[in-house]
Amino acid sequence: MATSQHTDLFEILIEAAKSHGISQGELAARVGIRQETLSRAKKHPAISLKTFLDLVRVAGLRVQLVPDHPVAEQITSGTLFPGSNSGP
């Protein structure tokens, strides 16, 4: 995962926590890490998956894995060939 995508995930996570009245420090404390660890994790992806999932849960979010089949999705949605007619 690119660093900017990683940072974006943490920004989303922290904003979601804030929307529930949970500060960054409280978010970190609730999952048993220091606030400095959470701040560092925003810039460097050195946090365990378990800790990340705990942070996500406390922030009121969930992680969902979805298939990465863009062509199949485009076929299903009818956007594989934009502007083409589907009939003969």
CATH number at residue 24: 1.10.260
Whether 27 and 17 have beta carbons less than 8 Å apart is answered as yes
Is residue 53 in some structural domain? yes
pLDDT for 2 = 47
pLDDT for 1 = 46
Tell me the C-alpha distance between 31 and 26, whole Å.
Answer: 9
Residue 86 has φ and ψ, to the nearest 5°, of -85, -10
- Counting the structural domains of the chain, the total is 1
Block residue for tokens 């404390």 = 29
pLDDT under 50 in the chain at which residues?
1-2
Is residue 45 in some structural domain? yes
Is residue 13 in some structural domain? yes
Overall pTM surpassing 0.95 (yes/no): no
Full residue range of the structural domain in which residue 34 is found: 3-58
End-to-end CA distance of the chain: 43
